[in-house]
Amino acid sequence: MVKLTDEQVDYVLNEIKARGVTIEDLQYNLLDHMCCIIENEIRDEDDFYQFVNAVFPQFFHENLVEIEKETILLVTFKNYYAMKKTMYLTSVLVTAFMILFSLFKIFHLPGAAALFVITVVLFSLLFLPLVILIKLKDESKKTEKMVYSFGFLLGISTSIGVLFKLMHWPNAGILMLSGVSIFTFIYVPLYYITQSRTTKDKYQTILLSILMFTVGGLMFALFDLNH
Amino acid sequence: MYICPMYSSELLKGTLKTIVLNLLKEQGKMYGYEITQRVKMLSSDKIQITEGALYPLLHALEKQGEVTTQEEFIGKRVRKYYSLTEKGTVSANEKVNELSDFMLTLRFLLNLDSTSANG
């Protein structure tokens, strides 16, 4: 077995860095792995530099930085599936609490207000933020990530506004009006423009945009702007 | 993600974590290159784990607290040995049991017992 010189080890490390791997830990993992391959497989007649450049491609499909991207993806989104499960569980809880709240309200039972607070808190502070995080992971295009996140943030602000309004807490009007106005007059046109450029299903984009605009417009019409 | 001369990568997807955790359980501590060579040898070259699949997984396992690392300096380079934590051992057992149960179900589902008996 050949023993690599310090210069040769430096050469391999510099190649790893030059190919875009920036995580130090990963650089040293790959360096040791590469050195092991060279030491075990290089023959006396082989040229070291040619051999190194021939071995590198077996580490990736297109370029070495793929390994770093995959590492970041696995490490960053290790809780991805737990987040998805929590999101599904929260959606079931929100639906159940909303049905319970409706029944309590119809039959004038005590505890309706508490149920409503729990529902909106779960929806806006757990469900919607989880939807944003999952969308950020699932969507590959930056524009889509931003558009969806913006939309769900508006959803959070509007639903908290509704909670404040029904509980007669202060500043409910500002929260609801700003949420609904930004949603109807900024978000819906933005959604239409970005989606109609990228999506193949233009019919669905138009339909969704009209629906969102109508619902937003109806909610906006409920506000008495003089007060 | 895999270089696999015999099996399709679809078939092996999802088994890498089980293979690595179980190897670490049996061997105690191992470094990256050693893991790839051991899998290659045990599977008679039928399964070859690529570096592109192995290192992201090892980093994720370390982050999740399922493996712990120990560094050894070899001249100018650092060799990182991986070994299972208590959490990793539990996970290795669970993964192996799950996979073994899945393989048993597949045997029934694909009727492999009667096929081999007839064959």
Establish if A36 belongs to a structural domain.
yes
Using CA coordinates, name the residue in chain A closest to B54. Answer: A67
* pLDDT tens digits along B1-39: 444 556 777 777 789 999 999 999 999 999 999 999 999
- Indicate whether A65 and A93 sit together in one domain: no
Q: Does the CB of A16 have a partner CB in chain B at under 8 Å?
A: no
End-to-end CA distance of chain A: 85
pLDDT digits over B78-108, tens only?
Answer: 999 999 999 999 999 999 999 999 999 999 8
Regarding whether A203 and A131 lie in a shared domain, the answer is no
Nearest to B52 among A25, A31, A60 (CB): A60
Residues A225 and A151 both lie in one domain: yes
Residue A160 placed within a domain: no
Just give the CATH number of B2-118: 1.10.10.10
Split into its structural domains, chain A has a count of 3
B70 near A CB under 8 A: no
Q: In the structure encoding, which two tokens stand for residue B13, read together?
A: 């997807």
pLDDT score of A160: 87
Instruction: State residue A50's pLDDT score.
Output: 92
Mutation target to probe the A interface, by most A beta carbons within 10 A, among B4, B30, B33, B64 is: B33
Same domain? A66 vs A25:
yes
Of A23, A55, A74, which closes a domain?
A74
Ordered DSSP codes for B30-98: EEHHHHHHHHHHHTTTS-EE-HHHHHHHHHHHHHTTSEEEEEEEETTEEEEEEEE-HHHHHHHHHHHHH
A163 within a domain of the structure (yes/no): no
Does residue A134 sit in the same domain as residue A146?
Answer: no
Which chain A residues touch B58 with a CB distance below 8 Å?
Answer: 29
Supply the pLDDT for residue B2: 45
| Domain containing residue A106 | 78-138
Q: Are residues A125 and A182 in the same domain?
A: no
Domain boundary among A21, A49, A74: A74
Give residue B37's pLDDT: 94
Ranges of chain A with pLDDT below 70: 76-78, 140, 198-200, 224-227
Residue A162 domain-assigned (yes or no)? no
Question: Structural domain boundaries of chain B?
Answer: 2-118
